[in-house]
Amino acid sequence: MMGMGSNLKPNAVRGPNNIGHFKNGTLAPENDTRYVIDIDIGGTYTDVIVSHGGAAAYFKTDTTPSDLSQCFEDALQKGAVRLGFSNTRLFLQKTLVIRMSTSLSTNTLLERKGECVGLLLTEGRSAEYLDRFHPSRNGRHILFPDMVEEVGKRLPDENIREKAYSLLTRGITTMVVCLDGSADFPKGEDRVKAVIGRYFPKHSIGSVPVLLSSQVSRDEDYFKRINTALLNAYIHAALSAQVSGIEDFLRDEGFAHPLLIVHSNGGSARSAKSTAIQTLSSGAAAGIYGSQRLSSFYHKSHVVIADVGGTSTEIGLNQYDRIAYAMPPHVGDLPLDIHSPVHSTLGIGGGSIARIDMEGNVHFGFENVGAFPGPACYNLGGTEPTLTDAYLILGYFDENYFLGGQKRIHKHWARKVVQKKIADPLEVAIEEAALAMKNKAVEIIGNKIRDVISIEGDSPLKFSLFAVGGGGGCIGSDLVDHAGLAEVCVFRQGSVFGAYGSSGMDIMHQYKERMDVVWKKDDAASAQIVRALNKAILALQRHAEKDMSGEGFSPQEIRFETELELKSLSAEKTYRLILPSPFLWPESAFFPLTGDMPAEKKIRITGVVLKALGDIPHAEPTLQPDGGSRKNLKKGVRRVYVAPGTFEDIPIFSWDDFSASRLVTGPALIESSETTLWLPAGKTIWFDEYGSGIIKRL
């Protein structure tokens, strides 16, 4: 848990429904306006949406990986200037909500830069666990066999002290207690932590944080609970330190409300009620949840999302406005008590480093130049060829209008590194090497899109591609062909899609209670089972009301959603059943709700999951001003390398100035202040009054 207090009373202050027109991503401040800020801190750029009612401003700033409070402060300062405030403090006085997502947890895990974790497990269970986990000292694992100890089932004090001391002497930086047993295992873990605290108090030299599995999981599967607690501890310290720095800044600036941390389950909560593992891929997850709003708005039944950022590309699915969930893609086959809307994470982004592999082909891994030094074209000392360098060489970017002119980039330096490390080894022209880099990225992402869709058993031709993220526009048209999709949808807010996704999130807390009930159809004990389940649901609701009172919500303002975790006794598969109301009603209303479970007369109920939600303001799709105007939006032409050995002069249009429905036929470049859209020959794009576009084949 990470923590900043203060109340968030969402209904206490409401501004007007709209605050007037905006132009080029700016808002007009009014005395009674209350702003909502969504910030997505990525590995390369920090994306920001400032919204109120019917208007929103989108922009980016550089991420500062060593101190995220700096890029957070930069984002707020830029927002204050955009909105006409003289300083950040005045801006924050007019701000009601700040939600933050970050890729820090994901990057910590991918780069294996987390804590040295020690595990205290129940006696007799570590050998089986390690046998299944198969850790080895190859630098890629998050746990090693000599960092695991066992405590006796009766939990004698001296045994606990001895085992904890043994782990401490091996250099652990965080300790996790995870006990097996009945539903009372949290009490045992609390006791172990208390004993450790008595012998090794926090103020003593050599003490380390002690985290409990019960803080992050109540799953009946012991090994799944161990893995979840282990992973949470591995990434906890890095995230906690950065969030604390951001909260200190907000507190010093007089912000009166809690910072809300975006969770990968589609909600947000103050940091004191958030755990590190809930933030895995939270920015990408937020974007996938945001796709639900847009797929519903545009009536798209089958959507695959490719969020192409500076560090990575995340892929998700949305069918009939329902998110398809998967295990987090960063932990291999390690089972966890969490689910993510992110089906795949690929090491393909604007800062991804291209290499020539042993077979003489272009290759991308998870190596990335990050925010600093960045791509070679930034002229900040970068010496590796990246996708951003390739796009500049191909002609997609204007050296003087990158990110709307915020950053000057240099084709000279891009050409120099691509020639040395890609073109010369391949014995091809520099432009051909840049095209090979782009085509490799399209191949990797396109193949993974097909793989993800195939899991659902559908045809790619049914799917619309939502090409989002800062790099989605550069390759979206190519991806639709490579993956065999129907069309590409792009959005004015697509370059800051994680922030857009979180802008539609409410405060949400999730609670779980373990159960072990076999419910037989037409069983005389059904009434008692219903009462037992409802008693557990009510207890979780009371817990939620207590937690959310700290965020300014009365019990009447909280919405509850209840799910039952079910296990088929015949197929040994698990299912989640969403109840139509917070409480369970008689069995006649239960069995018809079991959906795609096998038809059977007995079902095992393994858990109750309660979601508690509190409404806070959302950003909505916004109409462009002066609809109906059809002025010439052509900015000029630029020479682009469109195919092997072929240059063409390509017309350039301003996305920021589109003010009405408009059809553009490729080839064309469409620039905004945050991204660039490449529309090749043989494609058209129809822009609507919201600045969104649909790309189709001629």
Q: Is the pLDDT of residue 19 over 80?
A: no
At 26 the pLDDT is 44
Q: What are the structure tokens assigned to 691, written together?
A: 């600045």
Stretch among 328-332, 420-424, 571-575 having the lowest mean pLDDT:
328-332
Stretch among 161-165, 346-350, 515-519 having the lowest mean pLDDT:
515-519
Q: Is the pLDDT of residue 581 over 90?
A: no
Name the helix (H) or strand (E) containing 508. strand 507-520
Residues 6+ apart with CB under 8 A from 375: 350, 351, 369, 382, 386, 388, 389, 409, 414
Q: In angstroms, rounded to a whole number, what is the distance separating the alpha carbons of residues 513 and 678? A: 50
Q: What 3-state DSSP class applies to 434?
A: helix
pLDDT single digits (tens) 624-634: 544 444 455 78
pLDDT single digits (tens) 492-509: 899 999 999 999 898 999
pLDDT single digits (tens) 445-473: 999 999 999 988 889 999 999 999 999 99
Q: Is the pLDDT of residue 53 over 80?
A: no
Residues 6+ apart with CB under 8 A from 472: 306, 307, 308, 490, 494, 495, 497, 675
At 463 the pLDDT is 97
Q: Which residues of 264-278 are buried (b: 16+ CB within 10 A; e: fewer)?
A: bbbbbbbbbbbbbbb
C-alpha closest to that of 108 among 247, 282, 322: 282
Alpha-carbon radius of gyration of the chain: 26
Q: In angstroms, rounded to a whole number, what is the distance separating the alpha carbons of residues 40 and 175? A: 30
Higher pLDDT among residues 275 and 327, named by residue: 275
Q: Is the pLDDT of residue 411 over 70?
A: yes
Q: Is the pLDDT of residue 605 over 80?
A: yes
Q: Which residues are paired to 357 by β-bridges?
A: none
At 566 the pLDDT is 84
Average pLDDT over residues 10-25: 32
C-alpha closest to that of 553 among 261, 269, 264: 269
Percent of the chain with pLDDT over 90: 63
Q: Is the pLDDT of residue 408 over 60?
A: yes
At 337 the pLDDT is 86
Q: Is the pLDDT of residue 144 over 90?
A: no
User: pLDDT band at 16, cuts 50/70/90?
Assistant: very low
User: pLDDT band at 552, cuts 50/70/90?
Assistant: confident
pLDDT single digits (tens) 55-97: 788 899 999 999 999 999 999 999 999 999 999 999 999 999 9
Q: In angstroms, rounded to a whole number, what is the distance separating the alpha carbons of residues 123 and 133? A: 17
At 449 the pLDDT is 97
User: pLDDT band at 307, cuts 50/70/90?
Assistant: very high
Place of tokens 């001629």: 698
Q: What are the structure tokens assigned to 394, written together?
A: 């191909």
Q: What 3-state DSSP class applies to 658?
A: coil
Average pLDDT over residues 268-292: 93
pLDDT single digits (tens) 264-274: 989 999 999 99
At 137 the pLDDT is 47
Q: What are the structure tokens assigned to 63, written together?
A: 């991420």
The overall longest dimension of the chain from CA atoms, in Å, is 81
Q: Is the pLDDT of residue 656 over 90?
A: no
C-alpha closest to that of 411 among 423, 426, 394, 429: 394
Name the helix (H) or strand (E) containing 196. helix 185-199
At 622 the pLDDT is 59
Cβ pair 652, 667 in contact under 8 A: no
Q: What is the DSSP string of 42-109?
A: -SSEEEEEEEETTEEEEEEEE--TT-HHHHHHHHHHHHHHHTT-SSHHHHHHTEEEEEEEESHHHHHH
Name the helix (H) or strand (E) containing 251. helix 222-252
Average pLDDT over residues 485-494: 95
Q: For residue 295, with 0-12 CB atoms within 10 Å meaning exposed, 13-18 middle and 19 or more buried, which class applies?
A: buried
Average pLDDT over residues 426-434: 97
pLDDT single digits (tens) 329-382: 656 567 888 888 999 989 899 999 999 999 999 999 878 898 889 999 999 999
Average pLDDT over residues 549-564: 91
At 478 the pLDDT is 98
At 458 the pLDDT is 86
Q: Is the pLDDT of residue 649 over 60?
A: yes
User: pLDDT band at 158, cuts 50/70/90?
Assistant: very high
Residue 482, phi-psi category: left (phi > 0), alpha (psi -120 to 50), beta (remainder): alpha
At 285 the pLDDT is 94
Q: Is the pLDDT of residue 200 over 60?
A: yes
Cβ pair 143, 154 in contact under 8 A: no
Residues 6+ apart with CB under 8 A from 392: 377, 399, 409, 411, 414
Q: Is the pLDDT of residue 620 over 90?
A: no
At 372 the pLDDT is 86
Q: In angstroms, rounded to a whole number, what is the distance separating the alpha carbons of residues 125 and 141? A: 20
Q: For residue 528, with 0-12 CB atoms within 10 Å meaning exposed, 13-18 middle and 19 or more buried, which class applies?
A: exposed
Stretch among 161-175, 595-609, 650-664 having the lowest mean pLDDT:
595-609
Residues 6+ apart with CB under 8 A from 135: 141, 143, 144, 145
Residue 588: phi, psi to the nearest 5? -60, -25
C-alpha closest to that of 97 among 262, 258, 283, 248: 258
Percent of the chain with pLDDT over 70: 87
At 523 the pLDDT is 67
Stretch among 216-225, 246-255, 635-644, 669-678 having the lowest mean pLDDT:
216-225
Residues 6+ apart with CB under 8 A from 104: 41, 68, 235, 238, 239, 242, 279
Mean residue pLDDT across the chain: 87
Q: Is the pLDDT of residue 675 over 70?
A: yes
At 583 the pLDDT is 85
Cβ pair 468, 497 in contact under 8 A: yes
At 142 the pLDDT is 86
Cβ pair 568, 597 in contact under 8 A: yes
User: pLDDT band at 621, cuts 50/70/90?
Assistant: low
